Copies of this chain bind each other. A is one copy, B any other.
Amino acid sequence: MVSSHAYIRDGAEIYRNSFAIIRSEADLSRFSGQAEKVAVRIIHATGMVEIAPEIVMSPDFADAARNALLRGAPILCDAQMVAHGVTRKRLPADNDVICTLSDPSVPELAEEMGTTRSAAALELWRPKLEGAVVAIGNAPTALFRLLEMLEDGAPKPAAIIGVPVGFVGAAESKEALVEYGRVPSLIVTGRKGGSAIAAAAVNALASEVE
């Protein structure tokens, strides 16, 4: 049988059509400029216009994160999937994309600290934390741990993308980030989240407004 599927094969056209569908279906009136673009990319990554009301950014988030990236801030990711979802060639200042989870010291550190490897891996972020863009897309324990470090006086990142996913601690960790309130932040409320959302937010912030 000869191949006969009719579908759009032009990547740029697929993006344009996708974004047009999203903007026609989703209520994005709460967002403008770079923040609106972040919301569009999150919807694009999930296939869900219905996630729009669950996206919450502090008013200063998009500018703070964008400016940090332009200054060359590193992007600190809690999971390899987040790091590998960031489009390197789109980054404005050849920014470092860092995930410390696979560092050989992490399993022992987690044991000593009595916590998950995802949370323990943040100890290795300390020298890079000041002014960084944090992207947590997997582990609620990583977001809780980050808040503990900040409350204990660790250097402040420029912005926090806090979108861990799941049934145990995810919603609570994101509420705690909003309550902390001293770093510009993006969350998706409730259980939804994930590495694709975290990476999509970084990619939107790294691009010119489309």
Contacts and interface: CB of A to CB of B under 8 A. Distances in A.
Interface of A: 1-5, 7-11, 14, 17-18, 21-22, 44-48, 80-81, 83-85, 114-117, 119, 140-141, 144, 147-149, 151-152, 165-170, 172-173, 176, 190-196, 199
A50 to B, nearest CB: 10
Kindly report how many copies of this chain are found in the complex they form together: 2
A18 B85 contact: no
Contact of A191 (B17, B47, B84): B47
Given A152-B1, A173-B7, A167 B47 contact: yes
18 contacts: A1-B151, A3-B147, A3-B152, A7-B169, A9-B116, A10-B116, A14-B169, A45-B194, A47-B193, A48-B191, A48-B192, A81-B81, A81-B199, A83-B84, A84-B84, A165-B196, A195-B196, A196-B196
Contact of A196 (B10, B80, B194): B194
Contacts of A18: 166-168
A166 B7 CA distance: 14
Contacts of A21: 167-168
